[in-house]
Amino acid sequence: MMKLEDIRREYSKGGLRREMLADDPITQFEIWLQQAVDAKFSDPTAMVVATVDDTGQPSQRIVLLKHLDEQGFVFFTNTGSRKAQELQGNNKISLHFPWHAIERQVIVYGETKPLSTAAVAKYFLSRPEESQLAAWASQQSRPVSSRKVLMETFQTMKAKFSKGEIPLPDFWGGYCVEPTKIEFWQGGDHRLHDRFMYVKQSAGSWKIERLNP
């Protein structure tokens, strides 16, 4: 096996300075996200979602960001999934956007609020039909004996909803992550990376701090 300690590279695509940052972190995130899209990443909206269960055990998974505005970051999921169950007991969450190819990361810390049924339905009905059927077929995070069983359930749902609009499952929902802190990380030479943390103040404004790498 290769020696893992010998795998390294320099980060030298450019530094990050305070005067380069927008005063509002959502504006800054939108700028970086657009640059990730322009770089033609295969999944620029992919984010690692971290939650914690009632024993203190964290868990992570990759989810796609589906909406962003001044309120926060939006994603959708089966409400019976592990992440949804963990958020029910502890609504604190962290999101991580790993844009390695341009030597950037963004980490969001915040709390989740469930979306309204109307907002969830609006997005669900915009999904491709196969994705809607998959939501009905999957009991997310629960054991399944084989892929064959999963596909049989998918076909059953396809037949069941072959006529008319596919309804919103009552076990499917969404969350808005309202940020309290957002960190922007830019790789730097000699591991002297540039890190800036936006911290939300009680009045709603944002304080920006430079962090050591």
Catalytic residues: 191
Listed residue (119, 130, 1, 112) closest to 63, CA to CA: 112
Residue 127's Cα: distance from chain center in Å? 18
Long-range contacts of 63-66 (CB under 8 A, 24+ apart): 65/95, 65/97, 66/123, 66/174
CA distance 182 to 199: 7
Instruction: Please report the beta strands in the chain, taking only residues with DSSP state E, as ranges in sequence order.
Output: 46-52, 58-64, 67-69, 72-78, 92-99, 104-114, 172-186, 194-200, 206-211
Contact 159/136 with Cβ under 8 angstroms? Answer: no
